[in-house]
Amino acid sequence: MTIDWSPARYGYKTIAIHWITVPLIIAVFATMELKPYTAKGGELRETLMFWHYLLGLAVLAAVWFRVAARRMESAPPDLGGPTWKRAMAALTHRFLYVLMFIMPVLGWLALNAKGQGVHIAGLDLPMLVEKNESLARLLKQWHQALANAGYVALALHVLAVLYHQFVARDRTLLRMMPASAE
């Protein structure tokens, strides 16, 4: 197996942060999807929520690194294809970036609007808004609606990757892999 950092691939920083972000996002969703199977007020539910908050903030930090990496390293040349496919890919990627920024912030704002602070690893994060129950409900609704939209966007992203790998058989997936067996 050889490592290929050619201009036809994404740079190693971009690839690394992409593959670090993937399990973080899976874990964020998993902690929320497991919540209904736990007892309200129970220790397991509280632990899941703690990890949901912590992992969400980790995604927020990771997306800042992603943006920095993309600014330091140029993207490989476009592989071409129909304009509508390229536009759809660009739109999906932008939406995923927006979600990685806005979802943790909405969650943080919703907690603060409920009157709860965010306490992670001995740190008390600043309160971003005053307690406001109606705002808390609205922010929670937005957070949940965007999470559902995120499921759709992630599914589109994965389906596109599978299409490129197994139908189009182009280099799309290899461009984001750290090493290839070419």
**4 pLDDT more than 80:** no
pTM of structure: 0.88
pLDDT of residue 81: 84
| 47's tokens | 């632990």
Residue 123's beta-bridge partner residues?
Answer: 120
Whether residue 53 contacts residue 111, with contact meaning beta carbons closer than 8 Å, is answered with: yes
Q: Determine what percent of the chain is predicted with pLDDT higher than 90.
A: 75
Q: For tokens 């497991």, what's the residue?
A: 34
The tens digit of pLDDT for each residue in 16-72 reads 999 999 999 999 999 999 999 999 999 999 999 999 999 999 999 999 999 999 899
Could you tell me if 6 and 121 are in contact, meaning their C-beta atoms sit under 8 angstroms apart? no
Task: Return the residue matching tokens 């670090």.
Answer: 20
Question: For residue 79, what pLDDT is reported?
Answer: 79
Where residue 77 falls among pLDDT bands split at 50, 70, 90?
Answer: confident
Confidence of residue 6 (pLDDT cuts 50, 70, 90): low
Q: What dihedral do alpha carbons 118, 121, 122, 123 form, nearest 10°?
A: -50
Task: State the pairing for strand pair 123-124/119-120.
Answer: antiparallel
The pair of structure tokens assigned to 60 is: 């927020």
**Length of the chain, please?**
182
The DSSP line for 2-38 is B----TTS--HHHHHHHHHHHHHHHHHHHHHHHGGGS
pLDDT at 119 over 60: yes
Query: Distance of CA 116 to CAs 3, 41, 127, 133, 164, Å?
Result: 47, 15, 8, 11, 45
Which parts of the chain fold into alpha helices (H)?
12-34, 43-72, 83-113, 133-163
pLDDT band at 181 (very low <50, low <70, confident <90, very high): very low
How confident is the prediction for the chain on average, in pLDDT? Answer: 91
Task: State the pLDDT at residue 1.
Answer: 46
Is there a contact between 63 and 93 (Cβ–Cβ < 8 Å)? no
